Amino acid sequence: MLWTSTAPAGPAPTRVLPDGCLDLLWSSRAGLLVAGPDRTAFVSVSTPGERWVGLRLPPGVGPAVLGVPAIELRDRRVPLADLWGARQAATLADRAGTAAAAVLVEVAARRLRAAGGPDPLGPRVAASLAAGATVTATAAEVGLDPRGLHRRSRHLFGYGPKTLARILRMRRALALARTGVPLAEVAARSGYADQAHLTRDVRALTGVPPTTLLPR
């Protein structure tokens, strides 16, 4: 998914919620960066007028594009030069200055082809957990024992399947709540013990209660 933003004058911090994804980023101030998979919300602070373009790589796809295990980037924001070398990053940065979106898409597609595509296990695990399947059931579905699934998940997503399942459940719950469903019903439908459990888990992952993340 491609996204863009421009910070207004006097920008407020932006709370980026964990989602199991890695992002390839261009900033008019900082250049080319990689955002690793977060375990908790990352609070981003931009300068006034700073322009951002980001390519969000679906869960499990990032390692094939970036060339490193997701666990090495967990909870980090790193210059692309640290991963691909100063020369290649500088060449891409020069091009990105006038056409960042096209450059990010082109380089990600090229590297994904060179890697032979993403590991097919990633989408299968993410889809199973996003649908609410247990880690045990997901491991059985993809033909791995729990330890094998944990090891592969750290490489693909940056954390084990239990953490990924918790993050995806939180995102599923917030998406449902944003349609106007009451939080007590959201909790029941999303697999939480009750609304209090939902509130505690969302706060632990994002730093704020779910009501703060809903439209006013």
Please report, for residues 52, 65, 164, 171, the alpha-carbon distance to residue 44 in angstroms, rounded to integers and kept in the order given.
Answer: 12, 24, 22, 19
- The answer to whether residue 123 scores a pLDDT higher than 80 is yes
Alpha carbons 12 and 46: distance in angstroms, whole number: 8
Under the banding of pLDDT at 50, 70 and 90, the label for residue 212 is very high
Residue 88, token pair as written in the block: 């290649």
Alpha carbons 202 and 18: distance in angstroms, whole number: 11
pLDDT digits (tens, 9 = 90+) for 75-122: 999 999 999 999 999 999 999 988 999 999 999 999 999 999 999 999
Alpha carbons 134 and 136: distance in angstroms, whole number: 5
Alpha carbons 55 and 3: distance in angstroms, whole number: 6
Q: What pLDDT, on a 0 to 100 scale, did the predictor assign at position 12? A: 82
Residue 93, token pair as written in the block: 């940065």
| pTM, full prediction | 0.93
pLDDT digits (tens, 9 = 90+) for 127-183: 999 999 999 999 999 999 999 999 999 999 999 999 999 999 999 999 999 999 999
Q: What pLDDT, on a 0 to 100 scale, did the predictor assign at position 154? A: 98
Residue pair 30/77 in contact by the 8 Å Cβ criterion: no
